[in-house]
Amino acid sequence: MYIGRFNQWYSWDLVYQPDQILRDLMTDISSGRGILIEFVPILFTIQVFGYVILSLLTVRSSK
């Protein structure tokens, strides 16, 4: 499945090229291809939900 081109940033880009990262983000948001922007919060929500369920199951099984 082809979603599109991903921006490739490195950790040092935050120090040396923060303006380029900001431009890339603004271009992605304004282009109407917001699937990548929406993907991150959806994945985060799924991971938090899974963590809560696993921690509840772990607490109950240890009692």
- 54 pLDDT band, cuts 50/70/90, is very high
Does the structure show a pLDDT above 50 at 32? yes
Encoded tokens for 16: 């040396």
> Average model confidence (pLDDT) for the chain?
79
- Kindly give the residue spans of alpha helices, DSSP state H, lying in 1-63: 13-16, 18-30, 35-62
Are 25 and 18 a contacting pair, CB within 8 Å? no
pLDDT of residue 38: 72
Are 23 and 40 a contacting pair, CB within 8 Å? no
Does the structure show a pLDDT above 90 at 59? no
pLDDT of residue 2: 44
Q: pTM of the predicted model, to two decimals?
A: 0.44
Whole-angstrom Cα distance, residue 50 to residue 60?
A: 15
